[in-house]
């Protein structure tokens, strides 16, 4: 392929991946401001949290398998299948007759998204040199930040003006565009796995079961059955560890955790993901149900987090090339902790400025620390 055509193809594939990443990331949070309305129509307030948790859980369980499949069959075909599943599940969510069915369809969405976000990172590694990746990772981090926070804001607008099914229908045109760009312009640049394919199904099943049981335990960890489930989760985690040690090609290579920086990055991802999902799921609910404001106002509360994330991501991309990864990673995490600490002072009568300041500081922290450790 000529250099000009290669450059054009690379840009168009990157655009397609950005769109897919935006959708997959936004769908984890877009229902935040729609859920009070959905609960009002479908019921199921007692299982409200599962509409968020099941998406993230299914996504996490599918990521290792998706990455392995892309090594075996190529990035393009796996990306297309993942997008197809994601869009089909979006349609089903829009017509869900009950909260239970919505949760099932959200799980399908999560499995589809498992091939969108991680494959974008893998394909970036295939297309760009190490020096180029700092800028591209900063761009993707900004997109993930925008999508995570624009989700509740955009969701509030759609719920107020169109209706809650529209938060799922909106995925269809953009998903088709993303799939077409990647399918048409991508050329696999890695050597596909040869011989008899091996997928660590026992390991994938054990890891997924561990995550599911742990999530169930954390719903009510102080009760006797929550304690029992926590003990079962610990047992499953040990089984997963033994299976991955014995596997010739494990889903989770245990040896990576001997690398200190890798282990710190994984811990960091868990903490920041915990904070971000908690904030985007429950701050809009707090604003609507406790402070009695509209869905759009609830979504707008997260706008400072969005703006500061985008700006700091752009700064971080340039900063890493000059200072290395440590200063933005550490400084950003300090800001995340400081911003989240302000949430401890919130109550029904708290001034709006306190919540906005918390979002602003947290967003700046995410913008620095996420791309650096990624």
Instruction: Please state, in angstroms and rounded to a whole number, the distance separating the CA atoms of residues 271 and 354.
Output: 23
Residue percentage of the chain with pLDDT more than 90: 12
Instruction: Assess contact for 325 and 138: CB atoms under 8 A.
Output: no
Instruction: Please state, in angstroms and rounded to a whole number, the distance separating the CA atoms of residues 167 and 52.
Output: 14
pLDDT-derived band at 239, boundaries 50, 70, 90: very high
pLDDT the model gives residue 237: 92
Mean pLDDT over 88-94 rounds to: 92
Mean pLDDT over 234-238 rounds to: 94
Instruction: Assess contact for 102 and 205: CB atoms under 8 A.
Output: no
pLDDT > 60? residue 2:
no
Report pLDDT digits (tens) over 348-357. Answer: 878 888 888 9
Instruction: Please state, in angstroms and rounded to a whole number, the distance separating the CA atoms of residues 296 and 234.
Output: 41
pLDDT the model gives residue 89: 93
What is the residue-averaged pLDDT of the chain? 82
Match 């991680």 to its residue by tokens: 118
Task: Determine the length of the chain.
Answer: 374
pLDDT the model gives residue 224: 84
Report the run of H or E that residue 84 belongs to, with start and end.
Answer: helix 75-94
- Show the tokens assigned to 246: 């014995």
Mean pLDDT over 13-34 rounds to: 77
Mean pLDDT over 287-297 rounds to: 76
DSSP 178-210: HHHHHHHH----SPPP-SS----HHHHHHHHHH
pLDDT-derived band at 323, boundaries 50, 70, 90: confident
The C-alpha torsion from 337 through 338 and 341 to 347, rounded to 10°, is -130
pLDDT > 70? residue 196:
no
Mean pLDDT over 310-318 rounds to: 82
pLDDT the model gives residue 180: 92
Angle of CA points 253, 254, 259, to nearest 5° = 100
Instruction: Please state, in angstroms and rounded to a whole number, the distance separating the CA atoms of residues 334 and 347.
Output: 24
- Show the tokens assigned to 227: 């304690």
pLDDT the model gives residue 98: 87
Buried b (16+ CB within 10 A) or exposed e, 98-121: ebeebbebbbbbbbbbbbbbbbbb
Match 């290579």 to its residue by tokens: 253
**99-113 helix and 3-26 helix, angle to the nearest 10 degrees:** 150
pLDDT the model gives residue 149: 65
- Residue 164 in 3-state DSSP? coil
DSSP 22-38: HHHHHTTTTTTTTHHHH
**260-285 helix and 130-161 helix, angle to the nearest 10 degrees:** 20
Instruction: Please state, in angstroms and rounded to a whole number, the distance separating the CA atoms of residues 285 and 279.
Output: 10
Q: Which of 100-104, 140-144, 176-180, 247-251 has the lowest mean pLDDT?
A: 140-144
């Amino acid at each position: 392929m000529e250099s000009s055509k290669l450059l054009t193809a690379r840009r168009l594939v990157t655009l397609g991946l950005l769109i897919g990443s935006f959708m997959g990331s936004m769908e984890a949070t877009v229902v935040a401001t729609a859920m009070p309305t959905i609960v009002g129509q479908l019921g199921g307030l007692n299982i409200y949290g599962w509409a968020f948790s099941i998406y993230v859980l299914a996504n996490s369980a599918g990521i290792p398998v998706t990455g392995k499949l892309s090594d075996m069959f190529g990035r393009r075909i796996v990306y297309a299948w993942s997008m197809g599943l994601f869009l089909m599940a979006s349609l089903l969510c829009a017509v869900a007759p009950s909260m239970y069915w919505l949760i099932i369809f959200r799980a399908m969405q999560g499995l589809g998204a498992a091939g969108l976000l991680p494959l974008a990172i893998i394909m970036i590694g295939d297309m760009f040199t190490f020096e180029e990746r700092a800028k591209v990772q900063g761009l993707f981090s900004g997109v993930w930040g925008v999508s995570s926070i624009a989700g509740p804001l955009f969701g509030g607008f759609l719920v107020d003006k169109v209706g809650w099914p529209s938060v799922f229908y909106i995925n269809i045109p953009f998903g088709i565009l993303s799939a077409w760009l990647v399918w048409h312009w991508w050329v696999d640049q890695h050597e596909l796995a040869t011989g008899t394919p091996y997928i660590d199904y026992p390991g994938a099943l054990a890891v997924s079961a561990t995550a599911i049981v742990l999530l169930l335990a954390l719903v009510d960890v102080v009760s006797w059955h929550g304690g029992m489930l926590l003990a079962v989760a610990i047992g499953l985690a040990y089984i997963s560890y033994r299976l991955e040690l014995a596997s010739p090609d494990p889903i989770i290579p245990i040896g990576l955790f001997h690398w200190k920086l890798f282990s710190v990055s994984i811990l960091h991802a868990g903490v920041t993901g915990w904070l971000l999902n908690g904030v985007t799921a429950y701050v809009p609910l707090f604003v609507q149900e406790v402070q009695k404001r509209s869905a759009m106002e609830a979504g707008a509360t997260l706008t400072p987090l969005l703006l500061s994330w985008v700006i700091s991501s752009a700064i971080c991309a340039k900063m890493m090339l000059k200072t290395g990864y440590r200063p933005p990673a550490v400084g950003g995490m300090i800001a995340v902790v400081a911003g989240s600490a302000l949430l401890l002072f919130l109550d029904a009568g708290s001034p709006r400025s306190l919540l906005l300041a918390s979002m602003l500081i947290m967003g700046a922290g995410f913008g620095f620390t996420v791309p650096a450790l990624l």
